[in-house]
Amino acid sequence: MKKKCGQGVSFMVISEKKRLGNILVDAGKINPFQLQNALKTQKMLGKKLGEVLIESNIVSEDDIIQAIEGQTGIKRIDLNNVKYDKKAIKLVSQNLCNKYVLIPFGFEGTKIKVALADPLNIFAIDDVSISTGLIVESFIAKKCEIQKFIEVNYSSQEVSIAAEQLLKETIHSKNIVENIEEMNDIKNAPVVKMIEHLFKNSVEMRASDIHIEPYEHEIRIRYRIDGELQTVNILGKESLAPLVTRIKILAGLNIAEKRVPQDGRIITKVGNNDVDLRVSILPVVNGEKVVIRILNRSSYKVGKERLGLTKENLKKIENIIVSPHGIVLVTGPTGSGKSTTLYTLLSELNSDGVNIVTIEDPVEYTLNGINQVNVNTKAGMSFASGLRSILRQDPDIVMIGEVRDDETAKIATKAAITGHLVLTTLHTNDAPSSVTRLIDMGIEPYLVATSIAGVISQRLVKNICYHCKESYEASEYERNILKIEKDKLLTLYKGNGCGYCNNTGYLGRSGVYEIMEITREHRDAINTTRDPNVLMDISIKNGMSTLGKECEKLVLQGVTTVNELANITLLTDI
């Protein structure tokens, strides 16, 4: 049976006089008859009483926590709203935390504050007190919450510990870079542990990229989480060479070459999951800067219904992709979710009756039944040359990772007007601007008007963390932005910052879409003018909702904030 959060919680004896069963009876959560039956089952199964009661659906974990809190005075704590003290984390080992399901989170005078799933466990409290030399102030929290924050906080600590060990070794061994491939016990080498913990911690914190940045006296390590960079560690400059060398070895790059950029790939395992890492190394003034993109393959396994599209926009996309030929453009800045949208559309179009070929740089996720080609510029396989060959493979649908140059744009346009459906991406600020961009790339306006089927412009906005979400009265400035009357009260929402969202107030992201279906009116306008404002007016008249309007809806629904609305579009365009 699959366990819910809280199943498997053990509650031990604080003394012979005060047992969990007595606490629950005194609190009115169970009756003596239920207690006796549960004790018999406990003896038969060899489980803890709390486990038996929860699995039998006699009480919930919340019931047990309320009873202990009411009968013993041990306070319940919401770990989502805790700011963890790193000094407290360092004092208690992860093994001890896992053994007793507890986590330290702060101090008060000579006391260390500890949240336990089982605050009646005197052995756990004694072990923490002995290991820290401090008096333990106990709190109670859910088992699943404690386990989550053990993983997050101790994986960060492991990175710091490995960094300290690496620094010590680099100071004492000048030849560490040369000897890194010849180490007898390479698995236990500080640089190896450092990289392993770095990968594990970044995945656990939901990072999309790792940045290792060298400066004059230090190295800064940052993660991009929900589209925003966050500093997670500062290392000594001495650690740079072994770190970069180890990453190059894993990515199959030339460790001796430090003058030119290098790109590579690492496939590693984090927990039970295979993680695909794309490595980019760039020589800078103070050494080599490393950016590692973490490809979350599960994010591409979504149906179009889960992209966050409204019913109206979902219908528009369906109308666009059923076109037998033409160009479907997905536009937006880097990191706006264009690849996820493209893969989702390809999955929808994939069937036995069509031949789909893609050319990508790089292939981020392999789709069964679709022929995917990797760009390899060193071998002469560019988007343009690859696309020419693909068109000789009798394709029905072609996906081009990105239209980067005039030549690729011209070939894609010709493919669209000769009976192929072409899916590709461009970097433009909104949907109408993509038409101007193609014309600027040398495509004749009449060819653009003939070939283009539709444009999907998108952004990703950060969601308010639902664990620390709270309401507040909108300011006059916010009401003006949202065009709400001055006298009308408006309730908005924000995140206070908690353990789940790393004290940012945001957790996860939602897509915001602007979908331009090409009509006869659009085609006439493209032939007569290249002004994107004219196309925007036509699109709005035909029912297109702009990025600003779509984000405005999410603000009023309490999904995101006015700050995110300001970040994705000009307020004057709302």
| Residue ranges covered by each domain of the chain | 20-143, 150-169+190-296, 304-461+510-551
CB 277 within 8 A of CB 209: no
Written as one letter, the residue type at 133 is: G
Architecture (CATH level 2) of domain 150-169+190-296: 2-Layer Sandwich (3.30)
Residue 13 has pLDDT above 70, yes or no: no
pLDDT at 293: 92
Q: How far apart are CA 132 and CA 97, in angstroms?
A: 13
Residue 232 near residue 221, CB atoms below 8 Å: yes
Res 169 pLDDT > 80:
no
Tell me which of 161 and 202 has the higher pLDDT. Answer: 202
- Which range among 117-121, 213-217, 286-290, 559-563 shows the weakest confidence by mean pLDDT? 117-121
- Residues of the chain with pLDDT > 90, as a percent, come to 37
> How much is the average pLDDT of 155-167?
73
| Structure tokens belonging to residue 402 | 């990105």
What is the residue type of 31? Answer: N
Tokens coding 518: 């090409």
Among the listed residues 547, 337, 563, 560, the one whose alpha carbon sits nearest the alpha carbon of residue 462? 560
Mean pLDDT, rounded, for 304-316 = 84
Cα 210 to Cα 198, 233, 280, 534, 557, distances in angstroms:
9, 11, 10, 41, 32
Distances in Å between the Cα of 221 and the Cα atoms of 198, 233, 565 are 9, 5, 29
Tell me, what DSSP letter sits at residue 507?
Answer: E
* % of the chain at pLDDT higher than 70: 91
* pLDDT at residue 120 tops 70: yes
Which tops the pLDDT comparison, 69 or 440?
440
pLDDT of 14 above 50: no
Name the one residue in this structure whose structure tokens are 């404690």.
146
pLDDT at 569: 65
* Tokens representing residue 326 in the block: 């033409």
The predicted pLDDT at position 261 comes to 93
For residue 234, what is the enclosing H or E element? strand 228-236
| pLDDT score, position 188 | 61
Could you tell me the pLDDT band of residue 184, with boundaries at 50, 70 and 90?
A: very low
Q: Report pLDDT digits (tens) over 261-280.
A: 999 889 888 877 778 899 99
Q: What is the pLDDT of residue 514?
A: 93
Instruction: Compute the mean pLDDT over every residue in the chain, rounded to the nearest whole number.
Output: 84
pLDDT band at 302 (very low <50, low <70, confident <90, very high): low
The closest alpha carbon to 83, from 152, 140, 159, belongs to 152
Q: What confidence score (pLDDT) does residue 327 get?
A: 95
Q: What is the pLDDT of residues 201-256, one digit of tens each?
A: 888 888 899 999 999 989 999 999 888 888 888 888 888 888 899 999 999 999 99
pLDDT at position 434 over 50:
yes
Are 41 and 21 in contact by the 8 Å Cβ rule? The answer is: no
Task: Answer whether residue 174 shows pLDDT above 60.
Answer: no
Residues 6 or more apart whose CB falls under 8 angstroms from that of 205 comprise 152, 155, 156, 223, 225, 232, 502
- Model pTM greater than 0.85? no
User: 303 falls in which pLDDT band (50, 70, 90)?
Assistant: low
375-402 residue pLDDT tens: 887 788 888 888 989 999 999 999 998 8
Provide the CATH number for the domain formed by 20-143 in this structure.
3.30.300.160
**Whether residue 299 has pLDDT greater than 60:** no
The token pair that represents 365 in the structure block: 């996720």
pLDDT for residue 69 is more than 50: yes
Confidence class for position 9, pLDDT limits 50, 70, 90: very low
pLDDT band at 170 (very low <50, low <70, confident <90, very high): low
Of 203-207, 270-274, 290-294, 493-497, the poorest mean pLDDT is in 270-274
Mean pLDDT across 172-200: 65
Exposure string over 142-178, b if 16+ CB within 10 A, otherwise e: bbbbbebbbbbbbbbbbbbbbbebbbebbeeeeebbe
* 115 vs 69, residue with greater confidence: 115
Per-residue pLDDT band at 12 (split at 50, 70, 90): very low
The CATH class of the 304-461+510-551 domain is: alpha beta
**Would you state the pLDDT for residue 46?**
75
Q: Which of 442, 437, 434, 381 is nearest to 406 (CA)?
A: 442
Q: How far apart are the first and last CA of the chain?
A: 51
Averaged over 10-18, what is the pLDDT? 42
- Find the range with the poorest average confidence among 2-6, 142-146, 242-246: 2-6
